[in-house]
Amino acid sequence: MTVCEYKPGLEGIPAAQSSISYVDGQKGILEYRGIRIEELATKSTFLETAYLLIWGELPTKEELADFKAEIRYHRRIKYRIRDMMKCFPETGHPMDALQASAAALGLFYSKRALDNPAYIREAVVRLLAKIPTMVAAFQMMRKGNDPVRPNDDMDYATNFLYMLNEREPDPLAAQIFDVCLTLHAEHTINASTFSAMVTASTLTDPYAVVASAVGTLAGPLHGGANEEVIEMLEEIGSVENVRPYLDNCLQNKSKIMGFGHRVYKVKDPRAIILQNLAEQLFEKFGHDKYYDIAVEMERAVEEKLGHRGIYPNVDYYSGLVYRKLGIPTDLFTPVFAIARVAGWLAHWKEQLGENRIFRPTQIYTGSHEAPYVEIEQR
Ligand code: SDX
């Protein structure tokens, strides 16, 4: 075996072979199963895209109708899960609530049959169906209200916004939210997907796979950045303050949230679409002054850091879209998770086809033959 050079963060090291998605970071291209993200964002829906990612092909009309019906049927969560969630502190972060709730599903659906396609399908359907219900339920319960029951007459995106606000959303808002889900559904081996794959490689259950990925997505260097972007824009406060704020960040070598990417060295194609969605929402529902700050910040960062390939990533404009949809800031990352469940499950299913447990090596930097010093002599 050839010994490879150590790469912090495994930069550039292939850890799997996959046919699920493709990113060209120099050209700003993202494809799911070979189809460009721009095309899926305008022509597909989240559930159709999820089917494509997981089963590798666009569904026929009948296949899509069956898939949607199954998901609709499984949207409800057991009262024991609701009761468990009622005991979560309302001050807790919704990503922690989601991680615990996703893991709890494994208690109820514990039969594991990883070589049975019916089991795989059931797990996919349950996770796609129940994760949005759990995110919305925590939101209602932390305000002291009962969760809103899923509405069987509503599609996936409409139903989520309905469960969150207890009223039917505007059709444009629901349609834009559905596009957001499509954009966030998959992105090759990012940190949370890798976490899902490592967990999956032990042949544990899919609920543990998703729970571990949720925990990984939560961090501010990954999915958690969308929440921090809004906090940053609020802290900047005005367009005039953008450049002094940026200079201060650069002086202190602090990271500018929503910028930079391991793979993209140009503007993330999802950020381009999300910016456009934000503008559509402002046109219909009124402007957001934080958008002007965001645009000025993008301009200023490009001037100072563009030559180093630091541009807006997916998390930069998504928060501005979610704000306009009435989604609270600390739900931005759980909303990302709702979408990314599709990608995590696609990788889970792909990996089961040719599994080998992940077990990399390390470069040991400690000592050898060290003496054991008795406690009295330490
Ligand atoms: C997501 O991987 C995926 O696909 C993830 C994702 C997905 O769909 O799953 O796209 C979603 O996680 C988006 C990223 C969200 N995170 C942020 O917005 C946080 C801010 N960004 C960075 O911390 C950073 O850019 C990362 C974490 C996204 C990427 O980290 P890398 O590849 O390890 O790069 P790095 O931190 O080593 O930075 C390389 C250089 C450094 O300068 P030098 O030390 O070489 O001089 O670029 C600089 C960094 O300081 N840099 C930044 C910066 N991002 C990189 N400087 C200021 N602000 C930034 N945001």
All structural domains of the chain: 31-218+334-353 (1.10.580.10), 225-324 (1.10.230.10)
Instruction: Name every residue whose Cβ is closer than 8 Å to that of residue 331 and which is 6 or more positions away in sequence.
Output: 94, 135, 139, 164, 322
Q: What is the pairing mode between strands 21-24 and 29-32?
A: antiparallel
222 is catalytic: no
Prediction pTM value: 0.97
Tell me if residue 261 is catalytic. Answer: yes
Which residue has the CA at smallest separation from atom 10 of ligand 1?
A: 314
Token readout for 346 is 């696609």
pLDDT digits (tens, 9 = 90+) for 187-219: 999 999 999 999 999 999 999 999 999 999 999
Catalytic hit among 184, 261, 268, 347: 261
Average pLDDT per block of 10 residues along the chain, 378 residues long: 81 96 98 98 98 98 98 97 96 98 93 92 98 98 96 97 96 98 98 98 97 98 96 97 98 96 98 98 96 98 97 97 97 98 98 96 96 97
Taking CA atoms only, the protein residue closest to ligand 1 atom 12 is 222
Q: What is the pLDDT of residue 1?
A: 58
Long-range contacts of 135-138 (CB under 8 A, 24+ apart): 135/94, 135/98, 135/160, 135/164, 135/331, 135/334, 135/335, 135/337, 135/338, 136/160, 136/163, 136/164, 137/77, 137/82, 137/85, 137/163, 138/85, 138/88, 138/94, 138/97, 138/98, 138/101
Residue from 231, 246, 261, 270 to probe ligand 1 pocket by mutation (most atoms less than 8 Å from CB): 261
C-alpha 131 to ligand 1 mean position (Å) = 28
Nearest CA to ligand 1 atom 2: 190
Q: Which amino acid is at 295?
A: V
Q: How far is the CA of 150 from the centre of ligand 1 (A)?
A: 37
* pLDDT at residue 112 in the model: 86
Ligand 1 midpoint to CA 341 (Å) = 22
Question: Is residue 66 within 8 Å of 91, Cβ to Cβ?
Answer: no
Pocket of ligand 1 (CB under 6 A): 9, 187, 190, 221-223, 225, 255-262, 308, 310, 313-315
pLDDT at 5: 86
Q: Distance, CA 42 to ligand 1 centroid (Å)?
A: 28
Q: What is the pLDDT of residue 107?
A: 94
* Nearest atom (ligand 1) to Cα of 254: 57
Active-site entry in 315, 330, 347, 368: 315
